[in-house]
Homo-oligomer: A and B are copies of this chain.
Amino acid sequence: MDKLHRNERIGALIKILSDNPNKIFTLNYFTDLFNAAKSTISEDIVIVKKIMEKFSFGEVETISGAAGGVKYTPVSSMNNAKKFVKELCTKLMSPERIIPGGFIYMTDVIYSPDTVAVIGEILATQFVSLEPDYVLTVETKGIPVALMTARALNIPLLIVRRDSKVTEGSTVSINYVSGSTRRIQTMSLSKRSIKKNTKSIFIDDFMKAGGTAHGIIELMKEFENEVVGIGVLIETKEPRHKLVNSYVSLLTLDEVDEEKGKINIQPSRLFI
């Protein structure tokens, strides 16, 4: 490639880094791509770092040493996260969302790519320092949020199934009791999908009593994997005592009053 203008290198750097969150690129990768000196690229990276900071796009980190290079982490600032959670709250409290039985219709929100991309970045920000190896979720509705969290962290997604599918080879299954319905349920994961002595975070759309999260922790013991974090989009206020101790939620659902046509949701404590 011919010599590029600084503008062009800065633009390309930002595109490549932001398309590949949490991936380390060597300086050599960019000197080759841009046909430029190492010192030039280093100067470019300083500018990129400033741009990312100025606009709260996230953090650019320079790693020194043999395995060194540069990586981008889409850390969402607490201010931006709070603003987003508040707006989401307003959106979900619309009375037309009430479904007979006291449920809330929210698939349009949790299947909307640009919305789940932001939710994923907010959740990833909570857990990035724990350096998890996998994002776990249980089919079906939590998958989009979990995938976007995995994308922001640049780690694989694992989808725990409600039954064992022959096309994934041998699986480990456990039975667990749903915290709210008290029914016995099954969850299973393919044996080869996960390495031993690893760490994971569990991401889901909704938590009531925490039975699914508790089941995941049990399942992961079979894999010698430690669940180091749990994050959900929305938790219910009741029961106050969940089956898991430590988790992060963006929103808390207080009540759905079908008679009055009123939904009461608040940002969770962390995001007030």
Contacts and interface: CB of A to CB of B under 8 A. Distances in A.
Nearest to A109: B156
B114 A169 contact: no
Interface residues of A, number: 57
Contact of A144 (B47, B112, B147): B147
Contacts of A108: 156, 193
Contact of A111 (B19, B156, B167): B156
A84 to B, nearest CB: 13
Copies of this chain, whole number: 2
Interface stretch (A5-13, A86-94, A215-223): A5-13
Given A15-B14, A144-B147, A166 B103 contact: yes
Interface of A: 6-8, 10-12, 14-15, 18-20, 23, 47-48, 50-52, 54-55, 57, 99-101, 103-105, 107-108, 111-114, 116-117, 139-141, 143-144, 147-148, 150-151, 154-159, 161, 166-169, 190, 192-193
